[in-house]
Amino acid sequence: MKLNIGDTIKRLRKEREITQEEFAEVLGVSCQSVSRWENDSCYPDIELIPTIAEFFGISTDRLMGIDETKEKEAVSKYLDDFQIAISKGNIDECITIARKGVAEFPYNYALLDKLMYALFVSGDDDGNIPEWKENMEKYDDEITALGERIMKYCPEQNIRLEAASRLAFHHILQGRKELGKRIYETFPPMELCKENQIWWALEKEEKLPFLQKAIMEAYESLRSFIWLLADADIVDVETEFIAINKIFELEKLILDGNRPKNNWGAVWLDFDIAKRYALMSDYDNMYKHLHLAVDEAKAFDEFPDEQKYKAVLVGEITEKRTDFETSDTRPLTEILRDKWLIHDEFDNIRDTKEFREIIDSLS
C-alpha cells in the first residue's frame, strides 16, 4: 500500500502557513529532508511519525493515510445525517453533527463547509429560530474564520466557491457590504464558467447528459432571476404580475408541465401571484391561486422519499425529500397559514367566509 505521508505533510504545513525551513527546525531535521518527504523521495524516520502527527493534531494512522477509506465512510455518514437534519429544519442538530465531524476530522473541508453553513443558517430570520439575531452575532467571527480558511486552503473548487459565496452574503447581512461585494467580484463571469466552456472537450456519450443537466440548471437560474424581478420591490405591480406569469410559462416550456405540484416553489408561486390578484382586487383569481397553494402545501408535507419525472429538454429528474433544505421545522401548511397568509395584501378579505375556510383547511 502506498503511503501518502508526503502529501499530507505538505498540505497540513501549508494550512498552518509554515515554511519547510520552519517545520524542519521544529523537528530538528534538515530542510532537504522535509523537501524529500513532500516530493515522495523518501519517508520520515519511524521515530518521527508520532511527533509529526502530534504537531498537526492528527493520528499517526491518518498521517500515513492508513484510515483513508474509513475516513471517507465516516465523513459520508456525517454528511448524510446532516442532510437529513437540514431537510427537517433541525439546525441545532446540524451544528452538532458538523462539530462532531470536524472534531474527528479537523482537516476535512466538506465537514468544515457544512459547519459554516449550519452556523450561517442558524441566523436565518425566515425560519422559526427564535434566537436567530443572537446567533448572527454569536457566530459572526466563527463563520468568517471558517469561510476564510476554506477559501484559502481548500483544494476542491466547488467547496471553495460555495464557502466564498456564503461568506460574501454573510458579510452583507452583517452590514459589511463592501467586503461581500469584493468577494463576489473575484468570481468568474457566467460566460467563462465550466458549463459554457467544456462542451468542446466532451465525448459523444457525455454530451446528452451534460446538456440536460445544463438546461435544468439554466432554467433554475433564470427562474430565480425572474423571481427577483417580481419580488424585489423594484418595479410596479403590473410588471411584477407579468414576471410571475412568465415563471409559470417558463416551467411549462422547460418541464412540459410534468413536474409534480408538491414542491416549495410551486406553493410560493401560487401564493405570490394570489397576492398580486388581491392588490388588483381580482378576488376570483386570488382565491383560485390560494386554493392551489393550499393543495400544493399539503402535497409538499406528504412528499415521498423520492420521485421522478421526465421532460424532453432535461430527461429524467429525480427529486428526494432530503434534497430540500430549510431553517423551519414546521410543516408547510402551518407556515402558509401562520406566516404567509398574514400578509397585509389579504387584509380586505381576511374576515370573509371563503378566506376563513382556507385558513381552516390548513389546520
| pLDDT, tens digit (0-9, with 9 covering 90-100), for 126-174 | 999 999 999 999 999 999 999 999 998 787 889 999 999 999 999 999 9
pTM over 0.75: yes
Q: Distance between CA 223 and CA 269 in Å, rounded?
A: 11
- What is the rounded distance in angstroms from the CA atom of residue 61 to the CA atom of residue 315? 45
CA torsion 215-220-222-223 (nearest 10°) is 140
Calpha distance 160→181 (Å, rounded): 17
Residue range 227-285, pLDDT digits in tens: 999 999 999 988 999 999 999 999 999 999 999 999 999 999 999 999 999 989 999 99
pLDDT digits (tens, 9 = 90+) for 191-226: 888 888 999 999 999 999 999 999 999 999 999 999
Angle at 172 between CA 168 and CA 173, to 5 degrees: 115
| pLDDT band at 2; cut points 50, 70, 90 | low
Q: How far apart are CA 241 and CA 120, in angstroms?
A: 32
- Of all residues in the chain, what percent are helix, strand and coil, respectively (each to 5)? 70, 5, 25
Domains in the chain, CATH or no CATH each: 5-64 (1.10.260.40), 74-187 (1.25.40.10), 194-361 (no CATH)
- pLDDT tens per residue, range 64-113: 776 667 888 999 999 999 999 999 999 999 999 999 999 888 878 999 99
**Per-residue confidence (pLDDT) for residue 1, from 0 to 100:** 43
Give the residue among 350, 361, 227 at the shortest CA–CA distance from 297: 361
Alpha-carbon Rg for the chain, nearest whole angstrom, is 25
Average pLDDT over residues 5-12: 89
Predicted confidence band of residue 3 (pLDDT cuts 50, 70, 90):
low
pLDDT score, position 91: 98
Task: Say how far apart CA 96 and CA 86 lie, in whole Å.
Answer: 12
Cell of residue 255, nine digits:
418541464
Q: Which H or E run contains 310?
A: strand 306-311
Q: What percent of the chain has pLDDT over 70?
A: 98
- The pLDDT value recorded for residue 294 is 98
The whole-angstrom separation of Cα 289 and Cα 295 is 10
Cell of 149: 480558511
Instruction: Rounding to the nearest 10 degrees, give the CA dihedral for residues 80, 84, 85, 87.
Output: 130
The per-residue pLDDT of the chain, averaged, comes to 93
Check residue 332 and give its pLDDT: 97
Q: How many percent of the chain have pLDDT more than 90?
A: 78
pLDDT score, position 67: 64
